């Protein structure tokens, strides 16, 4: 189903974004920020959890920490104080989360008794700029994983909206063909079945099946643009995010 957000984005203007939601948060009561904060939490929950798990937290511990982080953000109006002139909202979010997690860790570790004159604790090593040996460092980083998880969250939302739109307009087979031949091989690592076989199953000839894939891809790009614009604070950010998604899809 087409949304007002998609219609606005199709005209090249930016719809309601994370930053505009923050503006609404700034005007909301600290104890009842309502939908703006709920929407932000839903959009970033999965990438944040994966970021924390990669940092070394257990899954349940990461989920609890995310919950605590958003409660902290709500009670302190943290997001309402964000400055959009200083960069992407995702960068502000990740920096705020990292600071919150570090403070929680320090608070927890401070409650534990340390051996007198014994081994240096981990927080003391960090305070002394302890550096992980290069041979033990993973080639990836939590920040990169967060970005990749964010892209997959975006694609999940876009594909769900695309399927809804195409099905509502009587084009369910367009989505079926597009997903099996274009999306699943990249995101799920599956091997697409022969187009001739798919076409026969749907009662189509080869050319019509190929045309439906092209039509679905065009619709996908429109929905993708609308979704990315809802995250971006500028045309440059939108263009960079769009390139990142296209690199993942190898388009």
Supply the pLDDT for residue 129: 43
Predicted TM-score (pTM) of the model is 0.66
Taking only the tens of pLDDT, the chain with its 251 residues reads 444 444 434 444 434 455 555 655 555 544 444 556 677 778 888 888 888 988 888 888 988 898 899 888 878 878 777 776 777 888 888 888 988 988 886 676 545 444 454 444 434 433 444 343 343 344 567 888 888 889 988 999 999 999 999 999 999 999 999 999 999 998 888 998 899 999 999 999 999 999 999 999 999 999 999 999 988 878 888 999 999 898 888 87
Structure tokens at 85: 């002139």
At 27 the pLDDT is 54
Give residue 75's pLDDT.
81
pLDDT of 212: 98
Q: Judge contact between 158 and 150, C-beta under 8 A.
A: no
Please write down the long-range contacts of 226-230, taking CB distance under 8 Å and 24 or more positions apart: 226/3, 226/5, 226/6, 226/8, 226/9, 226/10, 226/15, 227/154, 227/157, 227/158, 227/161, 228/154, 229/9, 229/14, 229/15, 229/17, 230/5, 230/9, 230/15, 230/16, 230/17, 230/18
């Amino acid at each position: 189903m087409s949304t007002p957000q998609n219609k606005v984005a199709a005209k090249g203007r930016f719809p309601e974004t994370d930053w505009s939601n923050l503006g609404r948060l700034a005007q909301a009561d600290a104890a009842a920020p309502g939908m703006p904060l709920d929407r932000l939490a839903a959009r970033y929950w999965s990438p944040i959890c994966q970021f924390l798990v990669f940092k070394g937290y257990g899954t349940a511990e990461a989920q609890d920490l995310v919950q605590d982080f958003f409660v902290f953000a709500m009670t302190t109006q943290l997001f309402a104080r964000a400055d959009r002139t200083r960069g992407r909202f995702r960068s502000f979010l990740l920096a705020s989360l990292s600071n919150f997690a570090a403070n929680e860790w320090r608070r927890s570790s401070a409650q534990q008794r340390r051996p007198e004159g014994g081994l240096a604790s981990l927080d003391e090593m960090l305070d002394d700029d302890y550096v992980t040996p290069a041979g033990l460092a993973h080639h990836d980083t939590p920040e990169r994983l967060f970005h990749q998880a964010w892209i997959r969250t975006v694609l999940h939302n876009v594909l769900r909206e695309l399927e809804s739109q195409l099905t509502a307009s009587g084009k369910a087979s367009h989505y079926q063909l597009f997903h099996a031949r274009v999306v699943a091989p990249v995101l799920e690592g599956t091997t697409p079945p022969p187009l001739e076989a798919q076409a026969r199953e749907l009662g189509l000839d080869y050319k019509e099946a190929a045309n439906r894939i092209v039509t679905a891809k065009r619709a996908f790009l429109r929905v993708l643009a609308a979704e990315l614009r809802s995250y971006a604070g500028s045309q440059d950010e939108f263009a960079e995010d769009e390139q990142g998604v296209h690199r993942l899809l190898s388009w």
